[in-house]
């Protein structure tokens, strides 16, 4: 497991806002062949700035993670929202989830009409009695006062080219690019948000770990907020987000120790790669991956330090 960023808990009793984001983990060359690293860094910085503004303005951790993820969904470089990976039929089927430290959660799978799937996930949390809705209609999204688009809004020329190349077996399918954020707000609340187009050339109707609470997305004030990226099937089988949380909560291990144990036992054993961003309500934070590379960034309320990795 490689560590991009690690933060110790804040001084005892002190609450500092913290924001971590990711733009996917995977084979570096596949994603960077699409655009220069500088463009990814700028995209990550824009997302970090948006989430940070929310936290500085005193908004909740849930507001901040949604603000950051929306920016990445709107940026066609990342595998979420516009510019998401395509199914083998050439369609964009988007998954997203949000959760806060009080255990409130919302998710959508196979979303095609909400311009920002992360806001559709938040609407499920705030406006329904449910946790996960599959294939929400355009009418439903509009009824939640969300901006809606035609499904081809999400399809970009470079993703179509990528799909063609994968289907012709000229390149291996990319297993990266999902976006996510975790945050602590000024009141000590935590939240996570994750959004993805899934795997390039995935089957129509396939749902990955992103939309599944406990697998790719999880938050609890009693343990951690975490957002995952990587080979979704392994993250589902290993219930990776919750596995790290349970090790922190019941095992009493550090975030780094818990994350390392989960990577060893649930990912390495399955031959799977990916990355995680996670933090505790006490301010311990970790960006880790076992893939070649990971796009990520952090803003640390202590000293106003921020950095992006691409």
**214 lies in the site for ligand ASP, by CB under 6 A:** no
Q: Which is nearer to ligand ASP, 45 or 196 (CB)?
A: 196
How many C-beta neighbours within 10 Å does residue 169 have?
8
CB of 242 to ligand ASP, least distance (A): 15
**232 lies in the site for ligand ASP, by CB under 6 A:** yes
Q: Which stretch binds ligand ASP (CB under 6 A): 5-13, 63-71, 175-183, 282-290?
A: 175-183
Residue 279 · residue 223 · CB < 8 Å = no
CB of 231 to ligand ASP, least distance (A): 6
Instruction: Let me know if 302 is exposed, middle or buried by CB neighbors in 10 A (0-12, 13-18, 19+).
Output: middle
Q: Which of 39, 297, 86, 40 is nearest to 183 (CA)?
A: 297
E-state strands within 58-147: 94-100, 105-111, 132-134
Site string for ligand ASP, 260-299 (x = CB under 6 A): ----------------------------------------
The 225-230 sheet, strands edge to edge: 2-7, 285-289, 274-279, 225-230, 217-219
| From 24, 106, 117, 136, residue interacting with ligand ASP (rule: CB under 6 A) | 24
**165: phi > 0 → left, psi -120 to 50 → alpha, else beta; which?**
alpha
**198 lies in the site for ligand ASP, by CB under 6 A:** yes
**For residues 244-267, b (16+ Cβ closer than 10 Å) or e, as one string?**
bbbbbbeeeebbbebbbbbbeebb
Residue 284 · residue 7 · CB < 8 Å = yes
CB of 222 to ligand ASP, least distance (A): 25
Q: Which is nearer to ligand ASP, 214 or 232 (CB)?
A: 232
CB of 230 to ligand ASP, least distance (A): 5
Q: Which is nearer to ligand ASP, 18 or 267 (CB)?
A: 267
Q: Which residues inside 75-94 make contact with ligand ASP, applying CB under 6 A? A: 79
User: What is the C-alpha end-to-end distance of the chain, expressed in Å?
Assistant: 17
* Identified catalytic residue from 30, 87, 156, 178: 178
Residue 176 · residue 77 · CB < 8 Å = no
> Any catalytic annotation for residue 280?
no
Annotated binding site for substrate, which residues? 206-209, 229-232
- Kindly list the residues in this chain that would bind ligand ASP in the complex (CB under 6 A): 24, 79, 175-178, 196, 198-199, 208-210, 216, 229-230, 232
């Amino acid at each position: 497991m490689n560590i991009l960023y690690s933060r110790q808990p804040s001084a005892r009793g002190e609450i500092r806002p913290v924001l971590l984001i990711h733009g996917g983990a995977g084979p570096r060359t596949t994603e960077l062949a699409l655009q220069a690293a500088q463009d990814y860094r700028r995209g990550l910085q824009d997302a970090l700035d948006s989430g940070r503004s929310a936290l500085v303005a005193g908004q909740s951790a849930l507001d901040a993670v949604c603000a950051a993820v929306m920016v990445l969904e709107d940026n066609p470089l990342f595998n979420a929202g516009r510019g998401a990976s395509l199914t083998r039929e050439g369609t964009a089927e988007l998954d997203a989830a949000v959760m806060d430290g009080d255990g409130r959660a919302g998710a959508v799978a196979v979303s095609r009409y909400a311009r920002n799937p992360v806001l559709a996930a938040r609407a499920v949390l705030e406006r329904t009695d449910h946790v996960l809705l599959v294939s929400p209609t355009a009418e439903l999204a509009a009824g939640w006062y969300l901006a809606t688009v035609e499904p081809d809004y999400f399809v970009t020329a470079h993703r179509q080219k990528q799909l063609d190349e994968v289907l012709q077996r000229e390149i291996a399918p990319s297993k990266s690019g999902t976006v996510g954020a975790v945050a602590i707000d000024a009141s000590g609340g935590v939240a996570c948000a994750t959004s993805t187009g899934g795997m390039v050339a995935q089957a129509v109707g396939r749902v990955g770990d992103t939309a599944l609470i406990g697998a790719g997305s999880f938050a609890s004030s009693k343990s951690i907020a975490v957002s995952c990226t990587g080979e979704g099937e392994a993250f589902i089988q290993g219930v990776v987000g919750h596995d790290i949380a349970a090790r922190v909560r019941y095992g009493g291990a550090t975030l780094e120790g818990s994350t390392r144990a989960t990577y060893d036992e649930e990912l390495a054993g399955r031959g799977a790669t990916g990355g995680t961003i996670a933090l505790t309500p006490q301010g311990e934070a970790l960006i880790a991956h076992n893939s070649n590379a990971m796009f990520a960034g952090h803003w640390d309320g202590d000293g106003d330090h921020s950095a992006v990795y691409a």
